[in-house]
Amino acid sequence: MQKEQRSNSYIVGAVLIMGYLYYRATFRQDFYALPNIIANFLQSQPLSGLFATFTFRYGEQMVSTEALGYFGFLGFFGSKIWLFLSYFILTYLWYGGLSGKMRDVVTPVVVALLLSVSYAAADEFHQSLVSPAFAMKEDVVLAGAGAVLAVITGWFFFTVRKGRK
């Protein structure tokens, strides 16, 4: 009974995270809010010399301290880390909820990955309708990487670790 309640809690948590992700994508995100918050904490701009050596393209956007400024560069990475962590948590919750309901080891992995990556793609499509500047296929790949890492972590904690007890 307790295992069933825990599985249900994980699934409810996953649905809540999906609701949060939908809500977040509904509004045009102020891409410059995070850099302003960072500017208050890192006024001395530590590691600016190191960050200046990195230049790459992410979708259509050039990412560098020259193109975005120091705080915009950090804000870009902060938003991508948040995206990665959001889908990591979402997939971990789906995997935890499904692995408690199924005896098979492979099915929860496949279903959790499909649910999370499909939702990431649907979320990007939704963003293209609301705010075309922020819908990127690279974000789906990043979310997918978070989902794969979550399944590996979940498999360790729910399967391997359980076998040790």
What are 87-135's pLDDT values in tens digits? 999 999 999 999 888 888 899 999 999 999 999 999 988 888 886 556 7
Give the model's pLDDT for residue 129.
83
Compute the average pLDDT of residues 48-66. Answer: 84
Cβ neighbours for 165, distance < 8 A, ≥ 6 positions apart: none
Question: Considering only 18-22, 43-47, 77-81, which range has the smallest mean pLDDT?
Answer: 43-47
Beta strands 55-58; 61-64: pairing state:
antiparallel
The b/e string for 78-103 (b: 16+ C-beta within 10 A; e otherwise) is: ebeeebbebbbbbbbbbbbbbbbeee
**Number of other CB atoms surrounding residue 140 within 10 Å:** 21
Helix (H) or strand (E) holding 58: strand 55-58
Q: Are residues 20 and 85 in contact, defined by beta-carbon separation less than 8 angstroms?
A: no
Q: Which is it for the CA torsion 126, 138, 86, 149, positive or negative? A: positive
Compute the average pLDDT of residues 8-15. Answer: 95
Question: Considering only 6-15, 36-45, 56-65, 92-101, which range has the smallest mean pLDDT?
Answer: 36-45
Q: Are residues 96 and 159 in contact, defined by beta-carbon separation less than 8 angstroms?
A: no
